[in-house]
Amino acid sequence: MSHRVSDEVAARATSEEITGSGAPSRRHHHDGDSLPYIHKVGAPPKQNLVREIKEAVKETFFHDNPLGHFKDQSGRRKLVLGLQAVFPILEWGRGYNLSKFKGDLVSGLTIASLCIPQDIAYAKLANLQPQFGLYSSFVCPLVYAFMGSSRDIAIGPVAVVSLLLGTMLTDEISDYTKHEYLRLAFTATFFAGITQMTLGVLRLGFLIDFLSHAAIVGFMGGAAITIALQQLKGLLGIKNFTKKTDIVSVMHSVWSNVHHGWNWQTIVIGMAFLAYLFASKFMAKKNKKLFWVSALAPLVSVILSTFFVYITRADKKGVAIVKHLEKGVNPSSASEIYFSGKYLGPGIRIGVIAGMIALTEAVAIGRTFAAMKDYALDGNKEMVAMGTMNIIGSLTSCYVATGSFSRSAVNYMAGCQTAVSNIVMSIVVLLTLELITPLFKYTPNAVLASIIIAAVSGLVDIEAAILLWKIDKFDFLACIGAFFGVIFKNVEIGLLIAVAISFAKILLQVTRPRTALLGKLPGTTLYRNIQQYPSASQIPGMVIIRVDSAIYFSNSNYIKERILRWLQDEDAQRKEHSTQIQYLVVEMSPVTDIDTSGIHAFEELHKSLQKREIQLVLANPGPIVMEKLHASKLAELIGEDNIFLTVADAVATFGSKAEP
C-alpha cells in the first residue's frame, strides 16, 4: 500500500487507499466519473464596513443579545420588560407561591443564624465596629433581592473582602479608631459600587474573567490562612498584636507574646468552641442532611459562650469581649463619604480593587449555582445589581457586601427557591439590630475568632490545587504565586502576582502558538498531528504543517520562522532518504484571522520558499482569512490553484508531481 498518489486521476480510480476516499471526489466516483471534484474554498460576500464594525461591537459587548426580547413589542410592553430587566423580582415574583416561600423561609432563617455571628466577626476583620457588619446584612440583601438574578446567592459581608478592605484602609489611616477611617470605608464602599455598576452598564464584565479560576483558588487559600492567623490574636487573648498580615510578622508576634501575652481562660473558651465548630462541620460533610448542625453551630456558640461569660464574668479575668454594640437600625452615612480632599484618591483606589474582588466572588458563586440549577445568569445585570446595592449600602452605613461562598452553599442546601430567602435574612437581621444587639455585649472575641477560622477553613481548597497541578502547570503556578504572595506579603501583592502570571500566560499564548507536523492516518484521508497519532504517515515530497492560532503581529514572525524550521528539519531527515521536498502545505483550519503582519509573514515565507523551489500550498483557510488573502493579493501571489479545501485535496493534486 503506497502512501502517495501516483497519478492524480488514475489514483482516484485505482488505488485501494485513495479511491472513493478523497472525500470531495467521492460523489463523482460513484457517478462513474473519475475526474476529481474539488470544492472551491468559499469566500463570504464582502460585508460593508458599518455592518462589520456593528457585528464586532455586538459580539464583543452584547454577545448575549440583551435587548433581543424587546424587539417587536408595544411601548407599554417595552416599559414592563424594561422594569423587569432592572428588577427581575417583578418577573419571577408573579409566579411566586406558598411552597416556594416555605423553602425560602427555612433557608432565610438558617442563613440569618449563620450570618449574624459572622457579620460581627467580619466587621472586626475590616477594623470596623461590629454593628457595621450587621448593617451590611440588612440593607444590601434587600436591594439585591429586587435587582439580582441569582436565586441562591446569600448576600452580606465576606471574610476575604473584609480583610482586603481592612488591610488597604489601615495602609492609609493606620489608627482605625479615628472617625476618618470609617469615612474612608464608606467612601471605598461607594466607589466599589460605582466600579461594579460601571462595569455592568458598560458591559465590561468580561474584565473580571482576567482573574483566572486558578488565581482565585490561590488567592482565596492565602487569604483564608492570613485571616486565620489574624484570629490568633482573639483566640490566644494577645493584646499587643502586629498590624501586618504576613505570616512572618504574625508568627513573630504570637511567639514574642507567649510568656505574658497569652490568656489561658481565653484559650480554653476559644479552643472548646473551635473544636465544636469543626466537629459540626465534619458531621455535615459526612452526612449532607446534617448541614443544619453546622449552619447553626456559630449561633449556638455565640449564645452559649455569651451566657457563660455573663455568668462567670470571665471578662474580669482577661477574656476580651465585644463590649460595645450599637443598637438600632442603620443610620445614614451619605454625608460621611469623601467626594473631595486627600482621601478621595485612596477611596477610589481601594473601592475599585475591593469592588472587583467582591464582584469576582459574587459572579463565581452565581455561575456555580446557576449551572447547578440550569438557569441563565446575566453577568452584566448582576454587576449592576451588586453596584446599586453597594452604592445604597455606602449611604446607609454599610461596607462592601457581596455573595458569601459558605452562606450561599447553606442557602442552597436549606432549599432556597428565590432571592426571598435574602429578604427573610434581612428581616431577621433588622429584628436583631432593633431588639437584641445589647445581648452580644458579653460575647467573647475568642468565639468570634473561632467562628471566622471555621468559616474560612473552607476556602483553602487543596483538592482544587492538586487538580490544577494535574491539569495545567501554568495554572498551578498562578495559584501558588497568588497564595505565597498573600501569606508572605499581603493581599494586594498576592492579587498583583496572580494577575501578572495570568497575563504572562496570555502573552505566551499569543506570541508562541503551537504548530504541528501532520501525517495521513492510515486508511483515511485525514491528516493529523504525527505526535498524537504515531501511525500517521508523511507524504513524500510534501511537508504538511498546521498552524494552531490566529496569525497576528505578535506571532507572525515566530510562525514564519517555525514553519521554516519544520521544513529544515524535515529536509535534513529526508535528505538521508534522498527525497526532495517540493510542496509545503499549511493547514489553515485553526487560523481564524490574519492581520497585515501575518500577510507580510506569508509573503516572506512564499519568497523564501520560491528561492528553494518549494511551492507554498494553503489548505482550508477560513472566511476571514480568505477575504484578507484576496484583499492583499496574496491569494494571487500564491496562486488560487494552490489554495485547497482540504489537505487531502492538495495531496491528491500535487502528490503525483511530488514524486522523488
Interacting residues with a copy of itself between 50 and 69 (CB under 8 A): 52-53, 59-60, 63-65
- Coil/strand/helix, residue 454: helix
**Per rule CB under 8 A, is residue 34 in the interface with a copy of itself?**
no
When asked if residue 26 is in the footprint of a copy of itself (CB under 8 A), the reply is yes
Among 2, 317, 508, 640, binds a copy of itself (CB under 8 A): 508
- Within residues 529-548, the interface with a copy of itself by CB under 8 A covers 529, 531-534, 548
Closest CA relative to residue 192, chosen from 350, 395, 334: 350
The correct pick among 6, 14, 39, 323 for binding a copy of itself (CB under 8 A) is: 39
Least gap, CB of 49 to a copy of itself (angstroms): 7
By CB under 8 A, the residues from 342 to 381 that bind a copy of itself are 367, 371-372, 374, 379
Cβ pair 94, 397 in contact under 8 A: no
| Binding span for a copy of itself by CB under 8 A among 150-158, 165-173, 605-613, 651-659 | 605-613
Pull the grid cell for residue 566: 519544520
Q: Which residue type occupies 289?
A: K
**Least distance to a copy of itself from the beta carbon of 173, Å?**
31
Contacts of residues 322-325 at CB distance under 8 Å and 24 or more positions apart, as own/partner, are 322/120, 322/130, 322/440, 322/441, 322/442, 322/443, 322/444, 322/445, 322/448, 323/441, 324/129, 324/441, 325/120, 325/129, 325/130, 325/131, 325/437, 325/438, 325/440, 325/441
Chosen residue from 176, 528, 567, 647 binding a copy of itself by CB under 8 A: 528
Q: How far is the CB of 31 from a copy of itself (least distance, A)?
A: 9
Stretch that binds a copy of itself, among 35-43, 90-98, 306-314, 483-491 (CB under 8 A): 35-43
**Cell triple for residue 607?**
519568497
249, 509, 579, 656: which one binds a copy of itself (CB under 8 A): 509
User: Closest distance between a copy of itself and the C-beta of residue 506, in Å?
Assistant: 5
Considering only 8, 12, 21, 231, the residue that binds a copy of itself (CB under 8 A) is 21
Helix, coil or strand: residue 521: coil
Residues 265-288 as b or e (16 or more Cβ within 10 Å = b): bbeebbebbbebbbebbeebeeee
Q: How far is the CB of 613 from a copy of itself (least distance, A)?
A: 11
Residues belonging to the chain: 660
- The answer to whether the beta carbons of residues 497 and 214 sit under 8 Å apart is no
**Strand pairing class (615-619; 583-587):** parallel
Question: Is the CB of 58 or the CB of 342 nearer to a copy of itself?
Answer: 58
Q: Which three cell numbers stand for residue 589?
A: 483550519
H-run or E-run covering 637 = helix 634-638
Contact pick of 461, 492, 604, 659 for a copy of itself (by CB under 8 A)? 604
* Under rule CB under 8 A, residue 134 binds a copy of itself: no
Instruction: State which of positions 164-223 bind a copy of itself (CB under 8 A).
Output: 206, 209-210, 212-215
Residues in contact with a copy of itself, total (CB under 8 A)? 103
From 426, 450, 628, 650, residue interacting with a copy of itself (rule: CB under 8 A): 628
Binds a copy of itself by CB under 8 A, chosen from 17, 91, 492, 571: 17
Cell of 43: 469566500
The answer to whether the beta carbons of residues 244 and 250 sit under 8 Å apart is yes
Q: What's the helix, strand, coil split of the chain in %, to 5?
A: 65, 5, 30
Q: Which residues ranging from 607 to 626 are in contact with a copy of itself (CB under 8 A)?
A: 607-608, 611-612, 620, 622-624, 626
Based on CB atoms, which residue is closest to a copy of itself, 180 or 649?
649
Task: Pick out residues in 550-579 that bind a copy of itself (CB under 8 A).
Answer: 550, 552-558, 561-562, 565
| Contact positions with a copy of itself (CB under 8 A) in 374-403 | 374, 379
Judged by beta carbon, residue 365 or residue 448, the one nearer a copy of itself is: 365
Phi, psi for residue 517 in degrees, rounded to 5? -90, 130
Among 358, 448, 455, 599, binds a copy of itself (CB under 8 A): 599
The residue (of 73 and 174) whose beta carbon lies closer to a copy of itself is 73
CB of 20 to a copy of itself, least distance (A): 4
The answer to whether 413 and 300 have CB atoms below 8 angstroms apart is no
- Pairing type for strands 515-520 and 542-547 reads antiparallel
- The Cα 629–Cα 602 span in angstroms is 10
